[in-house]
Chain A
Amino acid sequence: MKRRVVITGLGVCAPNGVGLSDFTEALHQGKSGIRFQSKLQALDFGCQIAGEPLIRDNILSDYFTPLQLRGLNASGIIYGVIAGKDAWSDAGLLSNSTDVPYWDYGVIFGSGTLGVDKFREAVYQVDNKDVRRLGSTAVIQTMASGVSAYLGGMLGCGNQVTTNSSACTTGTESVLMAYERIASGRAEIMLSGSCSDSGPYVWGGFDAMRILPRDFNDNPSKASRPMSATATGFVPGSGAGALVLESLESAKKRGAKIYGEVLGGEINSGGQVGEGSMTAPNSEAVQRCIKKAVENAGIESHQIDAINGHLTATTKDALEITNWSEALGLSGNHFPYINSFKGTIGHCLSAAGSIECVGSVLQLEEGVVFGNVNCEDIHPDILKTINLAKIPQKMIPFEPKVIAKASFGFGDVNACVIFRAFND
């Protein structure tokens, strides 16, 4: 018998809002966090815009000790720690001040590449025959699990502390991994989330693939156009999102605020066979992932009120809509409301899933479906499948009870999670 798992804390470090209240406000307003990046211009990037969280220097001392801040040059760790610690305190939890680890509390916090800027520093020193001067933090800032290691230590967690990595699926996968751990009775509280570094060394590879928009450098807020007929590629982003998942039993015992319930979901891969490849999704696998998620959640597809898609603003958006429609057996006016937050935050890569899961859960909390931006010209292929009214152009006061959120990533990997408003 699986135990019920609820969400009791949220934290976020997003391009359009650092901290839960700023992010919530930004989603209400459809405020863009995509800005011109002079450093990308200086480096002759085709795409010179990005979604990068604006971190004021004076907040860092709230999250890190002066010693931890010395030589800290890993933006993903900074975002992850801000989001993770915020979620922890939002859940009413404290850092461990005893000598005994929190045996029942753990961390699953994903990353893509971590500490890229620190790694660059180290490469220069090593090539300069100065390896002896790397200092003690070159390893902990650049290991993939750096972010979960920092958080696990700051909070004093004694259950599983790990980092998952599955490209742009990472964040949603971390929620499902944390869910499984609690549902199976092996932990009471898990901090789930993910982060993604900022900067040219992370985004350059995508620019080289010619999959980023190049014609919006002087009009950044219009560049990310999920579901639009004029979408020309995704805008790179960065940041972190975090969710505290907790057994219903523990949440009740603590008298914690409950944002919603995780009903379950599914993770799979298309095996890079058929139409699937390293960089292209296998529709059969995507549909199977969504169908299984609905089945595992113990609901019927028509109960889904809203979908937060992966919808990156590439030519694949119409295919994603078709896959949702086929998987759910719903189309036209029977299709749920659907939105993508990438219009305002861009594609935050390994952080995308967790930032967007936070946004999805906020819809339960706020009793609304947040609007899409930059899709006043919906792609005609999408309108062949679903009704125009199902793609809100601004926030609508419709209270969703069940929300499906999916993320897809390079490597032909998929994750779909089902959230429900809490009902005892």
Chain B
Amino acid sequence: MASGIKDKVAIIGMGCSRFGERWDVGTEQLINEAFGEALKDAGIEPSQINAAWFGSALDQANVGNSAIPLSTALRLQGIPVTRVENMCATGTEALRGATYAVASGAVDIALAVGVEKLKDTGFGGLPVPTKGTFNDLWIPYCSAPAGFAQLAAGYRSRYGVSKEELKQAMARVSWKSHVNGAKNPKAHLRKEVSMETILAAPIIADPLGVFDCCGVSDGAACAIVTTPEIARALGNYELVTIKALQLSASSGREAGTNQWDGSYVQNTRLAAKAAYKEAGIDDPRKQLSLMEVHDCFSITELVTMEDLGMSDDGQAWRDILDGKYDADGKVPCQIDGGLKCFGHPVGASGLRMVYEHYLQLLNRAGDRQLVSPSMGLSHNLGGVPYNSVAAISIVGLL
């Protein structure tokens, strides 16, 4: 019987670049910005890193595939460097690789880096998918918002929520993230936006308007992990450890059978269940101090509240309108602005989420610091709701 990852690995250093339209820097500088902060935080030398995991999701957007973009950016040589890619769950995958390497005893100190240089595509939104995962001989080319917007149709149909009510709740999701993001100096979008503006924005993919969609950004984030024993030996006494790292990928059942009604994300539910078990959480509504979820679109965050068990099924839209997930709500969600406002450099996002938990848990979150958080959940979602990869990491104080 596997014992799980809980408390076997500690994070001793984290870094995150400023996210946004970083026209003036390339991938290497973004990586360096995040790595420099993490290295200083960990108080180690680069030579002490035994292995590295590199997450980048869109190799066509000026990052490239293989481990080489990372190994050359950081001049790593003679250690294993591995590129991982799992769409928008890539950042969490990088952390999972590094964490498992440490937990296995294969290495003492491992590095996880995620980066994306999306603004080099020359247009807003994600690059247009072409070949590969989704066979374009029959699968329609559609945008990411159109993939996620279908959740709204499924949710309305299942719970009988009107278009207007759902749109209000979705707008409230984005409104809250703008309020939070305005306080984050590293966030891409740092301006509060009124509900009226959000509701009146042009439609991107019905019913998602511009403000229902997250920012697409340049950025990098990284983590340096080791065992709690080594962490203490390095002089760290207040330790943030990994409580759970779980992932679930679609078998094709959601998109290929009638077993899914489009009102939730099955993989989030499966990964959350496994993560709660691994972390020893039996009441997430009470035990989690904060959440960073994959709010690529407002509707995604809304259904994720139910998928994570934070809201009852069919009630998330009400909880959101009631402010349950606001900065001063019961369980703050996206206290750093989320994908919506911190931004979404795809490969970096999973690590960016953990970065926020790390800051909050160590009481380093500045203006947005919450009172005595003890455990945070990150949720990273790749693909589309009907064909997805959901990754969940839970970190907390040891």
Say if A and B assemble together. Answer: no
Give the B-binding residues of A (Cβ under 8 A): none
